[in-house]
Amino acid sequence: MYTQALNTADAGERTIEDAARSAQFQARIDAEERIEPNDWMPAAYRRTLTRQISQHAHSEIVGMLPEGNWITRAPSLRRKAALLAKVQDECGHGLYLYAAAETLGTSREELVDLMLAGKANPTLTWADIGVIGWLVDGAAIMNQIPLCRCSYGPYARAMIRVCKEESFHQRQGFEIMLTLSRGTEEQKAMAQDALDRWWWPVLMMFGPPDKVSQHSDTSTKWKIKRFSNDELRQKFVDATVPQAQFLGLTIPDPGMKQDADGHWIYSDIDWNEFSAVLSGNGPCNRERMAARRKAHEEGAWVREAAAAYAAKRKQRQLAQAAE
């Protein structure tokens, strides 16, 4: 699963020297220069990005767990191969992002320890795998394309490859939906049911509405964020409605109308549900985090073996150098 940033507040700069450096830093941002790991940056910029990139990484890792569960139940070899590739991509996305977050000075171990509960909804049928690809990865693309131009170099570069892979994920999901919606009555009902359950959670993925989002200002000033939550959400809705129409599925928002500019106006979002999920009370949070912890513990031998191999190699190189 992927979320828009929920940034921390700026603590302000402490010294006169920092104020001068901050002005210089802002001038570089305004000139569309990239900030690199060894460059000076305000502490709040570092904190905001560490939080945003690590949350993004966690969501890639936690998000692949329910999809991984469906690999053995995919309805054909072709679907299995595509889902396997997608899950592997998500794991890679987590890896690139942890690597980008590490360049800001927090170790991978610390980041993994801090892994927060991602937004978690159950995946009840095969159609959920279709909807996740179509809508969740589709929303991720909307969020992530502007991040390719983020002011922090390592994050922006990681996003370029991630976005190419997300586009494959979106297509594999849409193709599943297309097959189901052209299938039997039962398959159509399954597709509609999955859309009904995922539509609102996906709209929430874009983060709180602009009028209550407190931290957007600094992120916009620092060019971490290029569009507001509501702008991205609207782009997503406008792109998705015609796709749902093509599939012959109904978006579970009966009041939806197009305005004079062609934008689809959606009903109010129930943000109470969003805060419940964020505070870890989502339907599957506990289960999914337990699965995540188990996977981490079961992978301990791989990390130990890799560390032992690296140590042995280093020793061998030192011995060779001494000869």
- Residues forming contacts to Fe ion in the complex (CB under 5 A) are 60, 90, 93, 137, 166, 169
Comparison of 58 and 93: residue with beta carbon closer to Fe ion? 93
User: How near is the Cβ of 85 to Fe ion at its closest, in Å?
Assistant: 11
Asked if 178 and 247 touch (Cβ cutoff 8 Å), the reply is yes
Q: Write down the least CB distance from residue 136 to Fe ion, Å.
A: 7
To Fe ion, the closest distance from the beta carbon of 69 in angstroms equals 16
d(CA 72, CA 79): 10
| Distance, CA of 41 to CA of 118 (rounded, Å) | 28
Are the CB atoms for 249 and 181 separated by under 8 Å? yes
Nearest approach, Cβ of residue 250 and Fe ion (Å): 25
Q: Which of residues 102 and 137 has its CB atom nearest to Fe ion in the complex? A: 137
> Least Å distance between CB 66 and Fe ion?
13
Strand stretches in the chain, DSSP E: 257-258, 264-265
Which residue, 86 or 233, has its beta carbon nearer to Fe ion? 86
Nearest to 288 by CA among 118, 172, 79, 124: 118
Give 169 or 233: the residue with its C-beta nearer to Fe ion.
169
Tokens of 262: 């062609």
Measured from the Cβ of residue 292, the count of other Cβ atoms closer than 10 Å reads 19
In the bound state with Fe ion, the residue whose beta carbon lies nearer, of 128 and 166, is: 166
In sequence order, the β-bridge partners of residue 265 are 257
